[in-house]
Every structure is written in structure tokens, then in C-alpha cells.
Amino acid sequence: MSQTPGPDRNLAMELVRTTEAAALAAARMVGRGDKIGADQAAVDAMRLVLGTVSMDGTVVIGEGEKDEAPMLYNGERIGDGAPPEVDIAVDPLEGTTLAAKGMPSALAVIALSERGTMFNPGPIVYMEKLAGAEDIADLLDLERPLTKTIELVAERRGVEINDVMVVMLERDRHEQTLKEVRELGARVRLIAHGDVSAAMLAVSDRSPVDLLWGIGGTPEGVISAAAIKSLGGGMVGRLWPRDDAERQAAIDEGYDLSRQLTQDDLVRGDDCFFAATGVTDGDMLQGVRYHGAKSATTESLVMRSRSGTVRRISARHDRSKLRSLGSGRYG
């Protein structure tokens, strides 16, 4: 009698150790007004733990080019070199300003997929994005005015226009669309930073938010796509050059700037992993909490697209032991 092979290794369960480490390190800098220091603490801790993960990883979405980032730079090889071969996208501290100011929704985030399946944004820093839950995924279209999409969402869900809420980054480039959405009668939640968290909010069934829209970081778009492939829902993105030089650079490299990219274009294949740990309290995750000098607690989301499993993990950490294991980098 033949036996059905058992499930293979869930790398997300190993990756959550990296986001926990980054969150614990960054949390020591929360509210201190030093976003560079907070980001560096998260990078150092995440890189330390990533080196212990059994994988042959290449950073596709990282902290920048090698001459800008000594660790977790684009193209860096990480892991112990053993199979599987994977692409990695990291944001050790999504919302550096949020953490520096002690504001909500700062996260430590990582995503992973099979080698060659993760979209490389090349020279394009920004992307226009639209995301929503599974029941409205077919309505997502960046060619259509956002106000019309809001009307279609209200009709699909059998609600009034003023029941629909859109989350978007508070940026000058969004002012005209923001005005149109408000004139339509829909509600808007403006956020200062953190559109990975906002994208997850838009597709979550426990959220008051119906849609994410706006022009934000392309790396965050790729990471959001990995989360959405596991959570369910849909996303479309379109590359948004900041100027003529960036536009020409993208064209020279063969990018189609008119194309709408779905989550399946941004992260191809059916087996990707995602982990996020809260640094400060937010809608999706509780931030790091300290319990005296001895311990700290974290809350994380861990997901795998192939199985559709989403785990919420609460962990307690012994701070003194972490400091000894991490050479004082976190805890």
C-alpha cells in the first residue's frame, strides 16, 4: 500500500523567529525619535537569526544596494546554504517613523518564495496599489476611477456609499483622489506610514476597512502580495515612476509601465511564506510588551499560501537569555 508523503517543512515557522528578533530589537528604540537607529537595530537582529535558517536564500527586496546597506542588501545570500533555494523580501522595520515616534502599526516583516518567483522592481521605487477582500477582488482595476470602484463595492455588498472605508497614505500626491472620495460620501482612514499593515487590513474579514488605495513603496507592494496570497483577497499594482529619468530607466530595462500586476504577478507560484511581528500596537497585531525586567511578549502572524494556513502566535521571551544569545543585539 502506497503512502501519501507528509507535508514538507513550513519555513514560515522558522521565519517568525527572525521577525520576533527584529521586533524585540526595534522595540527598545520606540519613541526615542531615532528612526535610523530603530531600523538598524531591527536589521542587525533579523540578519543574525536569518543566518541560522536552513535555506539557500537571495534577498530580492532588501535594504537597498550593497553600497547603501551592509546587511540585508539586494542580492545578498542568506541562510546556511542548504535547500530550498528561495527569494526573500524583508522589511525589518516597516514604519521606521512610526516606531521612532511611538505611533501605532510598526511591524517587522519578511516574505519568502521559490527562487525566481518574486518580482524585482528594478529602478522603480513607487507603485500605485489597490487591494480588497476576496468577494470584491474582481472589482479591483486601476484603469477605473477609484470613486467608481467604491460604488461597485457598495453595490456588491449591499451597503450605502458612506459605509465603505478606504485606507490610504496621507500624502500630497493623493490629495485630489482623497477629495473625490470624500465628495462621493465614502469614508477614509489616513495613515502616516505602513501600507503592508494597511493592505492586510483591507483583505482581513475582521477589519472595518474595505479598500487600500494609494501610491506607496514597490517593495512593500511585493511583500503585501505575499501576505494576500495567504490571507485571500486581491491586489493590483502599477509601477509609478517618480520622474522622467526613472521612467526611462524602467523602459530601458524592459518594464511595462502600463501593466496592472496582480498578487500572482508580484509573487509567482503557489508556495510562499510570510511572517510579521508587531513592534507597536496596531489593528493587525499587538506590539512588543515588557513585563518587568525579566520578560517580553510578542504577537505575530505566520502564513503559507499553499495551505492557506494563517497562524497568530503569541510568545513570551526571556530577555536576559535573548541578550546572551544575540550578543546584546535584542531583548
Dist CA 236 CA 297 (whole Å): 35
**In the chain, where does the domain assigned CATH 3.40.190.90 lie?**
126-266
Q: Give residues with Cβ within 8 angstroms of 72, minimum separation 6.
A: 43, 46, 47, 50, 59, 62, 63, 78, 90, 92
Residues in the chain, overall count: 331
**In the chain, where does the domain assigned CATH 3.30.540.10 lie?**
11-116+272-325
| 40 band by pLDDT with thresholds 50, 70 and 90 | very high
Does the annotation place 65 within a ligand binding site?
no
Residues 286, 160 contacting (CB under 8 angstroms)? no
Maximum CA extent, the chain: 66
Cross-strand bridge partners of residue 272: 113
Residue 278: predicted pLDDT: 98
CATH 3.30.9.90, applies to 126-266: no
Whether the per-residue pLDDT at 2 is higher than 70: the answer is no
| 10 band by pLDDT with thresholds 50, 70 and 90 | confident
Round the average pLDDT of the chain to a whole number and report it. 92
Does the annotation place 243 within a ligand binding site?
no
| Class of CATH domain 11-116+272-325 | alpha beta
For 215-264, write each residue's pLDDT tens digit. Answer: 999 999 999 999 999 999 999 999 999 999 999 999 999 999 999 999 99
Does the annotation place 63 within a ligand binding site?
yes
Task: State the helix-helix crossing angle for 11-27 and 35-50, rounded to 10 degrees.
Answer: 150
For 112-171, write each residue's pLDDT tens digit. Answer: 999 999 999 989 999 999 999 999 999 999 999 999 999 999 999 999 999 999 999 999
Whether the per-residue pLDDT at 1 is higher than 50: the answer is no
Q: What is the mean pLDDT of residues 55-84?
A: 88
**Lowest model confidence (mean pLDDT) among 57-66, 177-186, 204-213, 283-292:** 57-66
Dist CA 222 CA 121 (whole Å): 9
Q: What is the mean pLDDT of residues 55-61?
A: 94
Does the annotation place 128 within a ligand binding site?
no
In degrees, rounded to 5, the angle at the alpha carbon of residue 215 between the alpha carbons of residues 190 and 207 is 45
Whether the per-residue pLDDT at 50 is higher than 50: the answer is yes
pTM above 0.95, yes or no: no
Look up residue 39 and give its three cell numbers. Answer: 531600523
**Percent of the chain topping pLDDT 70:** 95
Does the annotation place 44 within a ligand binding site?
no
Residue 11: predicted pLDDT: 85
